[in-house]
Amino acid sequence: MSSTVHHIRGPQNPLDRLGRPLHDLRISVMDRCNFRCPYCMPKEQFHEHYRFLKSQERLSFEEIVRLAGLFASLGVRKLRLTGGEPLLRTNLADLVGDLTDVPGIDDIALTTNGVLLGQHAVDLHANGLKRVTVSLDTLDREVFTRMSGGFGALEQVLAGIEAAIAAGLTPVKINAVVERGLNDHTALDLVERFRGSPVIVRFIEFMDVGNRNQWRPDLVVPSRELAARIHERWPMRPISENYKGEVAQRWRFDDGGGEVGFISSVSQPFCGACSRARLSSEGKFYTCLFATHGLDLRAPLRAGTSDADILQLIRGVWHGRTDRYSELREQLRHDLYSFGCRAPPGHGRCQRQEADQADGHGRSAGALPAGRRGGAA
């Protein structure tokens, strides 16, 4: 059915149980990826026989645009297109163009591994994309190969970044996941390469998202440790956030070389200000990166449900939202290891528990990698 959302303005934007508004929507447009980053989609699990979604199981562009309009009427102002790898979705620039017409949306961003960015940067910009975030964990070729699971080439990602700058998708942000003993020794090289350019490097603490990424607390390099290492080489000081709820803490170099960011989801969780909702490529609405269950919006969309009724569903879920997984992580780890894998409902971090919940795709809901719900940043 056609949407009447453009005429619907929520009388009051919903707040969740902890008083947080709904402001951002991360839309995973593609569950597949052309990388196999071990921290996100380890190839042992996402192998050649892994059952990804069939194309008709993914939300169509029309469905995504309709849902974006509904979310906008509840207060969402910012959209981030992500995946999997969003640039694997054919004609993604057309979707960007359609989303720029959605009333209420004033910011559209894209997170990509950058391999295909060189081919699409100009079209994306022409269709209304303003900026892009490229994930790049290291400049060391060997480490890059390990961290991409052996796919893609560093040169392609660097060319993608250059193409984004040339197309005007600036400032380009770089997301670098840091894992102790794997790429932390290369972090300063990334800073050095992009200091003084229209690129802002942001370091992300390795997170325990998905259930087979071999996460261990000692593999997390706390942002304060990394910041101290960088500060020793290039003195810098913290600066204020660009907007309320920004996930990255910003630091500016004293010598005018620009800034770096730190996304400290493990050491300094930011659940208290989290206003992000997530839409998976199959149309499930999640209220947290770590949530094990999402509300299926594809079924009502395809059953001809009215905008008003779908809005009611979304509003109901947001009203009931209590997620603050990262803040509870320490307590959860204690529960897992001390009390035989009994994580609180809705946060099945225990592999045995998750295997028991396996869904029709031969994977468990809690096993969804960051890619299925768009990652942290």
- DSSP secondary structure of 135-187: E---S-HHHHHHHTTT-S-HHHHHHHHHHHHHHT--SEEEEEEEBTTTTGGGH
Pattern of binders to ligand SAM over 162-191, x per CB under 6 A?
-------------x-x--------------
3-class SS at 28?
A: strand
CB 215 within 8 A of CB 208: yes
By a kind-dependent CB cut-off of 5 to 8 A, residue 207 interacts, out of ligand SAM, ligand SF4, none, with: ligand SAM
- Cα dist from 340 to 24, 307, 345, 355, 357, whole Å: 36, 44, 14, 15, 17
| Nearest distance from C-beta of residue 315 to ligand SAM, angstroms | 27
Q: Which residues pair with 114 in a beta bridge?
A: none
E strands within 7-162?
A: 24-30, 78-83, 107-112, 131-135
| Nearest distance from C-beta of residue 231 to ligand SF4, angstroms | 28
Among 72, 207, 350, 365, binds ligand SAM (CB under 6 A): 207
Between residue 82 and residue 101, which ones bind ligand SAM under the rule CB under 6 A? 82-83, 85
By a kind-dependent CB cut-off of 5 to 8 A, residue 261 interacts, out of ligand SF4, ligand SAM, none, with: none
The residue among 220, 225, 188 whose CA lies nearest residue 204 is 220
The one-letter amino acid at 317? V
| Nearest distance from C-beta of residue 57 to ligand SAM, angstroms | 19
The residue among 238, 243, 247 whose CA lies nearest residue 269 is 247
Q: Cα(137)–Cα(193) distance, rounded to whole angstroms?
A: 13
Between residue 103 and residue 142, which ones bind ligand SF4 under the rule CB under 6 A? 113, 135
By a kind-dependent CB cut-off of 5 to 8 A, residue 41 interacts, out of ligand SAM, ligand SF4, none, with: ligand SF4
- Cα dist from 296 to 8, 58, 280, whole Å: 22, 12, 9
By a kind-dependent CB cut-off of 5 to 8 A, residue 175 interacts, out of ligand SAM, ligand SF4, none, with: ligand SAM
Q: CB-side exposure of 320: number of CA atoms within 13 Å?
A: 9
Cis? peptide before 84, omega within 30° of 0: yes
Pattern of binders to ligand SAM over 25-44, x per CB under 6 A?
--------x-----xx----
Q: How many CB atoms lie within 10 A of CB 311?
A: 18
| Nearest distance from C-beta of residue 164 to ligand SAM, angstroms | 13
Between residue 336 and residue 375, which ones bind ligand SF4 under the rule CB under 6 A? 369-371
Q: What angle do CA 306, 311, 312 make, to 5 degrees?
A: 100
Among 204, 301, 343, 367, binds ligand SAM (CB under 6 A): 204
Among 27, 33, 67, 157, binds ligand SF4 (CB under 6 A): 33
Q: Cα(343)–Cα(347) distance, rounded to whole angstroms?
A: 6
| Nearest distance from C-beta of residue 113 to ligand SF4, angstroms | 4
Sign of CA dihedral 17, 18, 22, 25: negative
Report how far apart the first and last C-alpha atoms of the chain are (Å, whole number).
Answer: 33
Query: Does residue 223 belong to the site contacting ligand SAM (CB under 6 A)?
Result: no
Segment contacting ligand SF4 by CB under 6 A, of 30-38, 198-206, 301-309, 359-367 = 30-38
Between residue 194 and residue 223, which ones bind ligand SF4 under the rule CB under 6 A? none
Query: Does residue 84 belong to the site contacting ligand SF4 (CB under 6 A)?
Result: yes
| Nearest distance from C-beta of residue 191 to ligand SF4, angstroms | 21
Cis? peptide before 171, omega within 30° of 0: yes
Between residue 108 and residue 147, which ones bind ligand SAM under the rule CB under 6 A? 111-113, 135
Segment contacting ligand SF4 by CB under 6 A, of 31-39, 91-99, 156-164, 248-256 = 31-39
Query: Does residue 85 belong to the site contacting ligand SF4 (CB under 6 A)?
Result: yes
Which residues are near ligand SAM by CB under 6 A? 33, 39-40, 82-83, 85, 111-113, 135, 175, 177, 204, 206-207, 209, 213, 370-371, 375-377
Which residues are near ligand SF4 by CB under 6 A? 33, 35-37, 40-41, 83-85, 113, 135, 369-371
